Amino acid sequence: MNDKQAVTTFHYLLHPYNTSLVTCCDTEGKSNIITIAWLIPVSVSPPLVGMSIGPSRFSYGLIRETGEFVINVAPYDIARQVLFCGRRSGREMDKFAETGLTPMEAQHVRPPVIEECVAHLECRVVQDIEAGDHQIVVGEVLAAYANHGILEENGLYRLDQVQTLFHLGRNWFTSTGAECEKISL
Ligand SMILES: Cc1cc2nc3c(=O)[nH]c(=O)nc-3n(C[C@H](O)[C@H](O)[C@H](O)COP(=O)(O)O)c2cc1C
C-alpha cells in the first residue's frame, strides 16, 4: 500500500459531483436557494431522489416546514451564483435578489423553479433519515423536465448542447466535456 495516500477528506474522493440549486420556501411562500452537491436517484419506480442536507441549514427547516423542494440542475455558466448560494444563508438575505436568478412558478409545488437552470425535479418529502451530521431527505419526484433541445430522444443530455456543473471540492468546479463514449460489454 506504499503507493496509496491516506486521506481524511474521504468525501472528496467521490467528487466531482453534479451540483444543483435546490429551492424551498416557507408556509407564506417566501423562497430560498441552497446549493446541494450530494444528491442521488434512489428509486425509479416510485421515482425517488435522496438529498444529504445538514440540519443546521436554513433550507432544511423550510423543507421540513412545507415538505416540498425543487432540484434545479445548474449549467456551468452560473457557477459563481451556485457558490454564492452555497456560502451564504437565506437567514440573512434574499438569495434571489442577491444573485439575480429568476424564480418561475413550478407545476406541482410551491417552491419556485430557477429559470437559468437547465432541468428541474419537483419533489415532495417522503422520508427524512438521520445520518451522522447530515439528514437524508428522500423526495418523490412529482414532475421532471428540461430545456428544449438539450436532451437526446432517450432522455440523455446532449453534451454538445449543455454543460452541467460539477463540484470538485472547496471552491473548485468543473463541467462535462463534449466527448462522450458509449461502452459495450
Ligand atoms: C458547491 C457546494 C456544494 C454543497 N453541497 C451541500 C450538500 O450537498 N449538502 C449540504 O447540506 N450543504 C451543502 N453545501 C453547503 C450549503 O449550500 C450552505 O451551507 C448554504 O449556505 C446553506 O444555505 P441556507 O442556510 O440558506 O440553507 C454546499 C455548498 C457548496 C458551495
- CATH number of the domain where residue 102 is located: 2.30.110.10
CA proximity to 33, closest of 22, 44, 20: 22
Domain limits for position 121 = 34-148+161-169
- Ligand 1 pocket mutation pick from 20, 57, 129 by most atoms within 8 angstroms of CB: 57
| Count of structural domains within the chain | 1
With respect to residue 135, please indicate whether it lies within any of the assigned structural domains.
yes
Per-residue pLDDT of the chain (185 residues; tens, 9 = 90+): 789 999 999 999 999 999 999 999 999 999 999 999 999 999 999 999 999 999 999 999 999 999 999 999 999 999 999 999 999 999 999 999 999 999 999 999 999 999 999 999 999 999 999 999 999 999 999 999 999 999 999 999 999 999 999 999 999 999 987 776 877 88
C-alpha distances (whole Å) from 50 to each of 39, 81, 120, 126, 146 are 6, 23, 15, 10, 20
With respect to residue 51, please indicate whether it lies within any of the assigned structural domains.
yes
pTM of the model: 0.97
- Ligand 1 pocket mutation pick from 36, 53, 133 by most atoms within 8 angstroms of CB: 36
Q: Which residues pair with 98 in a beta bridge?
A: none
With respect to residue 125, please indicate whether it lies within any of the assigned structural domains.
yes
With respect to residue 177, please indicate whether it lies within any of the assigned structural domains.
no
Can you tell me which residue has the cell 410551491? 110
